[in-house]
Structure 1
Amino acid sequence: MKLPKTWTKRIMHIAPNIVILLSAFSLTMNMISSVNSSRGLVLALSFTGFIFASILVKSIPYKYVLAAIAYLAFFNALPELSFDKLVSVMYLSLVLLAFLLPSSLPTFFAAGFYLYITPIYWSEEPVEMIRTMMVGVIVNMILYSLLAFYFRNLKEENSINVELNLQLNQAFGELENIAYYDTLTKLPNRELLKERMDTELSKETPLAVMFLDLDHFKNVNDMMGHNAGDQMLQDVARRLNETVGHSCFISRYSGDEFILLLSYKQQEEIETLAERLIRSFRNPFWIYQKQFYTTPSIGISLYPEDAHDAETLIQYADKAMYSVKRSEKNGFRFFSAIRSTELLRQVKLENDLRSAVSKGEIIVHYQPLVEISTGRIRGWRR
């Protein structure tokens, strides 16, 4: 059964720490149980305290200092060990040093120390056995150092990968923000609006599309410049969020146009929200320490009554908004309220034009502009 890649990486990441703890624990237990004097016990306990302090401390210089003190006590306790205990303790100490400290030099130093003192303190042991042990020390020193180096590099590589992933996620987040949010008002833009509408329409629950346009906004740009207009748009976005942001989705469609989406159960909910929006614009906007007033014209289309797709719903809400603008402004109107009269007017106009053309009731009059020198018609005047 194969482990997932993420679990494999985690295991590889924590493996050195597990090796350090297990070897330190085994080494201290061996030392404490193997010494045969109170001095040896004090040295073994000193090694235990300083080596675990070295494991826990984060600072590399302190780690080296504590490890040096621990191994000084450890080396002084070695002569009390039997040759059998010495072999296992030496190998464990090499493993611990190789994985505990970033440099391999302490491991080489410890191995050299063992090669030096073994023939001196255990001279009664057979030469062949000592030679075999010394070869084992050299081989294990190289093996443990290479293994620790591999795991250390792997850990650093994982850290670099983690940092790169964080940077990539941040970059993707910024790109997503640019793609889906308006840079001026920080509101969702047209792309995110359409995605949200598609999501809402897929639920097949009633949805109101409110198309809000600011009345007389051009006056602010003309009088105070585009920077003032930008500030007003930011203030409008903030006011919309404060007024209805908790109950509906707000987006900047373009220019001074905003679209709000509201899931509803009763039409009265939409009317209440529209009235609340209109009331919120009674307070002035402060632009460069001057008061400016603007009012909203709001057109509303409904799903599923008016249309079943996002584009048509926005188009119908836009038409309803322009109907408000052509009349009193500072109000709201449902598309259904203008649909019948508007469609009848369009049908009547089309029929009348067709009838006039067929009856010859439309005559085009124009005065040709003739070039005197050539007699050619160069244009006309109505």
Structure 2
Amino acid sequence: MRQLRSSPVYRHIMRNGKAYLLTLLVLTIVNNLFSVGQDHMIKVFVFLTTILSAVFLRKSVVLQHILASIAYITLFTLLHNIDYFKLPSIMYTLLLLYAFLLPGLWVPTIVGAGFLLFLLTYSSTVQFDYLRANLVGVVFNTVVYAALSYFFRQMIIERDRLKESENRYRSLIEICPEPIVVQQKGKLVYANPAAVQSLGAEDVNKLLGRSALRFLHPESRKNALEHVNEVLEKGVSARMEQRYVRLDGQVRSCELVLVATNYGGKPACMSIGKDITERKKAEEKINHMAYHDTLTGLPNRSYLNECLYMAIERAEQTGSQLAVLFLDLDRFKNINDTVGHIYGDLLLRQVAERLRACLGPSDTVFRHSGDEFVILLEGVTEDGVRVQAQAVLDQFKQPFQLHGHEVYTTTSIGISIYPQDGMDRDVLIKHADMAMYLSKENGKNNYQYYRVHNNRLARKLKLENGLRRALEKQLFTLHYQPQINLASGEIVGMEALIRWMDPELGVVTPGEFIPIAEETGLIVPIGKWVLHTACHQYKQWREAGLPEIRLAVNISVRQFQDKQLVSTIQSVLEEFDMNPGHLELEITESIMQNLDQSLVILTALKKIGVKLSIDDFGTGYSSLFLLDKLPIDHIKIDRTFIEEITFNANTEAIVRTIIDMGRHLKFQLIGEGIEHERQIHFLQEHQCTIGQGFFISPPLSSEKAGELLSRKQPFVQV
């Protein structure tokens, strides 16, 4: 169809179609004029010549009217020589011809009036019935064709107005200095010269027909497509900032206004752009200057306040810890006074480089002020904080080279941890600062935790009292972390994890309150509550028609000392009509300290039909000789091994050995603590069966866990 429209013959017909149709009407009239006789053929020829000239003459309207008038007068002189019964055909055809040749209300009216006067000359020679029929026919056709001609004239006027408006609009777009493109069904169908230049094309043909998404940065395509669809569906306009890619590969920034329009009679989206690359660079430079220290290039105190605020929100949502390390260089003033401020500035820059080098990808170092630095660690344990603090101290063992001067310095570090040492950013920084001064008092070049108003004994007492209160007032909640089949990506289990949000203590992590609960014996009633609540939730999932999976519940060593453990588990299974094979009890390696008693309980549990797994395998009291004696089904590889996969060759060898050993002993292997894609690939490659960790999913509320289970597709693409 597109090739047909572009052909010269098609364009010629469309341009002259009206003239050809009018010519057919002329020939129809002339055909009826051949009966006038040889004497009047010259008049017929004059009529034919003038009327055809009027038909094909389109540049001069005045001359067209003159020629049409001559043709009409000539025809009028021939009417007496035409058979009376042929007159209606000639008159009606001529009325139609003039109605569309000279559109308007008056021309068909005048032509029709002339024919009426002519017909009245036959009043004495023609029967009244014939005359009346012809008079009525002429009047009727005159009225109809005059009305049609009038509306046709109005259409022509409106068309000319639209064409003039379109040409004016196109001219404005063509000379507009801002890039303008029109896309239809995702393809560019129009681009003005400014757009051609902005997109780096030699001419517009290099752009037309190409996908509009090709010119957008990959990171901008999804957002832009959503805006375009919204504009086309709702007929609204939209404004956005995007990065676009020129044909030469250069990436620039632009501000776009999207407007719904029509192009070629079909819906389209017009984009009006403005290049803002230089403005964006200036904004980025200003933003960098506002949030970064000009001397060291590190984020400054303002950026610290924002990052710490968001980190606290994330820690609150995930129930994790974060640490603030406050650093102050020892004897920095003496160095400044000895070698000068220029060397002091150089020392600060080198210190910043060393601090950056010793941090992980998720950790951040800030310059607080002067010779003070702050390090923010997210999602860490106290052991992890201790390791990182020592790594920072180790960075100062080697001397700093300052333009030929070898300078030694150390640092004192104060540490505060969320949520134990504070719930907001100002308090955490203040407490870390106070701990730093304690480090100075203890001889410098060391780290100290905040212990002034919140020492461990006081905290422990608060937690113990809080645990009792939490049991009474049911302040505990359970979250569920998915376990997936690493081969198919499907959820095969959920581990129930206890969470505690206390009105006074705030969020208390399991790593903090579980040891206290075990020490005080509160772990037994807490464990019963966890088992009962988890199985009850499992029943609700089952009644909702969700897939049947394994439900993993942790059992502590202290619970193994409870003689009612087996009967408690059996009664819970009966209460909720739960298949024992769907319950998995996770035990730690420490049960091997009292192997005889543990074997009795494990054997009894195995007879019930529940599944058993060893948690944190490889870090406790494992004995390969005894491992074969235990009636267990699963082994969970401890997260400390998973964390070092792809970084530590020795750790990789240990993990491979555990997997091979487990497979040969017919155990299913569970890799826990997966936080990176590379760890999944390693476990898949070495045929580890099941995976669990934040990379797959954080622990979820029961509602969100149920939503995941209701999915028909694999939860994770592996």
TM range (shorter): 0.5 to 0.7
1:338 Cα deviation from its structure 2 partner: 8.6
Residue 254 of structure 1 pairs with residue 369 of structure 2: yes
- Alpha-carbon spacing, 1:338–1:280, altered in 2? closer, same or farther (3 Å): farther
**1:257-296 map, 5 Å:** 257-296=372-411
Give runs of aligned pairs for residues 131-210 of structure 1, distance below 5 A: 131-132=57-58, 145-154=167-176, 156=178, 162-202=273-313, 203-204=315-316, 205-210=320-325
**Aligned mates of 1:33, 1:146 — CA distance in 2:** 26
What is the distance in 1 between the residues matched to 2:58 and 2:162?
Answer: 12
Residue deviations 1:24-46 (CA, integer Å, cap 9, x gap): x56642x2779xxxxxxxxxxxx
**Which residue of structure 2 aligns with residue 73 of structure 1?**
none
Cα pair distance change 1:145/1:223, threshold 3 Å = same
Q: Which residue of 2 aligns with 1:357?
A: none
User: Which has the larger helix fraction?
Assistant: 1
Aligned partner of 1:295: which letter? T
CA distance 1:129–1:271, change in 2 (3 Å) = same
Q: 1:308 to 1:172 in 2, by over 3 A?
A: same
| Aligned partner of 2:431 among 316, 330, 354 | 316
Unmatched runs of 5 consecutive residues or more in structure 1: 1-21, 35-80, 89-122, 342-382
Q: Which residue of 2 is the match for residue 127 of structure 1?
A: 53
The change in CA–CA distance for 1:144 and 1:225 in structure 2 (over 3 A counts) is same
Which residue is equivalent to 1:59?
A: none
User: Equivalent residue of 1:210, what SS?
Assistant: strand
Q: Which runs of 4+ in 1 moved over 6 A?
A: 138-144
Task: Work out whether 1:223 is the aligned partner of 2:341.
Answer: no
Code of the aligned partner of 1:178: M
Please report how far the alpha carbon of residue 301 of structure 1 lies from its aligned counterpart in structure 2 after TM superposition.
1.0
Q: Which has the higher contact order (CA 8 A, sep 6+)?
A: 1
- Evaluate the alpha carbon distance shift between residue 230 and residue 338 of structure 1 in structure 2; reply closer, same or farther with a 3 A threshold: farther
- Describe the superposition over 1:174-215 as per-residue Cα deviations: whole angstroms up to 9, x where unpaired: 222122111221211111111111112223231111001111
Change (3 A) 1:127 1:331: same
CA drift of 1:124 comes to: 11
Q: CA deviation at 1:87?
A: 4.3
Cα distance change on mapping 1:245 and 1:235 into 2, 3 Å = farther
Question: Quick check: which one's strand share is greater?
Answer: 2
Letter in 2 for 1:296: T
Shift in alpha-carbon separation, 1:236–1:87, aligned structure 2, 3 A: farther
Indicate the SS of the match to 2:398.
coil
- Call closer, same or farther: CA 1:326–1:125 in 2, change over 3 Å: farther
The aligned amino acid for 1:277 is V
The residue type paired with residue 57 of structure 2 is R
CA distance in 1, matches of 2:442, 2:334: 19
Partners of 1:278 and 1:149 lie apart in 2 by 70
Cα distance, 1:217–1:26 mapped onto 2, change above 3 Å: farther
Q: Which whole-Å CA distance do the structure 2 matches of 1:207 and 1:140 have between them?
A: 67
SS of residue matched to 1:299: strand
Q: Secondary structure at the match of 2:303?
A: helix
User: What SS is found at the alignment partner of 1:251?
Assistant: strand
User: In the TM superposition, what is the alpha-carbon distance from 1:307 to its structure 2 partner?
Assistant: 1.6
* Residue deviations 1:77-98 (CA, integer Å, cap 9, x gap): xxxx7xx46648xxxxxxxxxx
What is the alpha-carbon distance in structure 2 between the residues aligned to residue 143 and residue 197 of structure 1?
Answer: 58
Cα RMSD after superposing both structures: 3.5
Separation of aligned partners in 1, 2:297 and 2:386: 26
* CA shift in 2, pair 1:85/1:307, >3 Å: closer
Aligned-residue sequence identity (percent) comes to 32
Is contact 1:197-1:310 (8 Å) kept?
A: yes
In the superposition, relative to structure 1, how do residues 145 and 338 fare at CA in structure 2: closer, same or farther (>3 Å)?
Answer: closer
State the alpha-carbon separation in 2 of the partners of residues 306 and 85 from structure 1.
Answer: 84
Structure 2 letter corresponding to 1:198: Y
**Cα distance in 1, alignment partners of residues 439 and 367 from structure 2:** 19
Q: Deviations over 1:245-290 (max 9, x none)?
A: 4241211110111111112442111110011111111122221132
> Structure 1 pair 291/242, CA: closer, same or farther in 2 (3 Å)?
same
Decide which of 388, 396, 421 is 1:306's aligned counterpart: 421
Q: Which amino acid aligns with 1:269?
A: G
Q: How far, CA to CA, are the matches of 2:289 and 2:323 in structure 1? A: 27
Match in the other structure for 1:244? 359
The aligned residue for residue 481 of structure 2 is none
SS of the counterpart of 1:333? strand
Deviation at 1:171, TM superposition (A): 2.8
The answer to whether the 8 Å contact 1:299/1:319 transfers is: yes
Give the counterpart letter for 1:335 in structure 2.
Answer: Y
Mapping 1:46-125, distance limit 5 Å:
84=13, 87=16
Paired residue type of 1:167: E
Q: Which residue of 2 aligns with 1:96?
A: none
- Single out whichever of 170-179 and 277-286 deviates more from structure 2: 170-179
In our comparison, the structure showing a higher alpha carbon Rg is 2
Q: In structure 1, how many angstroms separate the alpha carbons of the residues matched to 2:326 and 2:348?
A: 15
Q: Which range moves more in the overlay, 157-166 or 274-283?
A: 157-166
* Contact 2:321–2:381 (Cα < 8 Å) also in 1: no
- Taking a change above 3 Å as real, the CA distance of residues 165 and 134 of structure 1, as seen in their structure-2 partners, is farther
- Name the structure 1 match of 2:99: none
Verify: 1:233 aligned to 2:348, yes or no.
Answer: yes
Which runs of 5 or more structure 2 residues have no equivalent in the other structure? 18-48, 62-155, 181-193, 195-253, 256-272, 457-718
Going from structure 1 to structure 2, the CA distance change for 1:223 and 1:128 (only over 3 Å counts) comes to farther
DSSP 3-state at the match of 1:186: coil
Q: CA 1:85/1:211 → structure 2, altered by over 3 Å: closer, same or farther? A: closer
The 1-side partners of 2:9 and 2:343 are apart by 79
SS of residue in 2 equivalent to 1:156: coil
Cα deviation digits, residues 2-58 of structure 1 (max 9, x gap): xxxxxxxxxxxxxxxxxxxx7xx56642x2779xxxxxxxxxxxxxxxxxxxxxxxx
Give SS of 2:57's match: helix
| Alpha carbons 2:178, 2:274 under 8 Å: kept | no
Q: Could you say if the C-alpha distance between residues 134 and 262 of structure 1 is closer, same or farther in structure 2, counting changes exceeding 3 Å?
A: farther
- C-alpha distance in 2 between matches for 1:154 and 1:264: 54
Following superposition, the deviation at residue 143 of structure 1 comes to 6.4
The amino acid across from 1:146 in the alignment is R
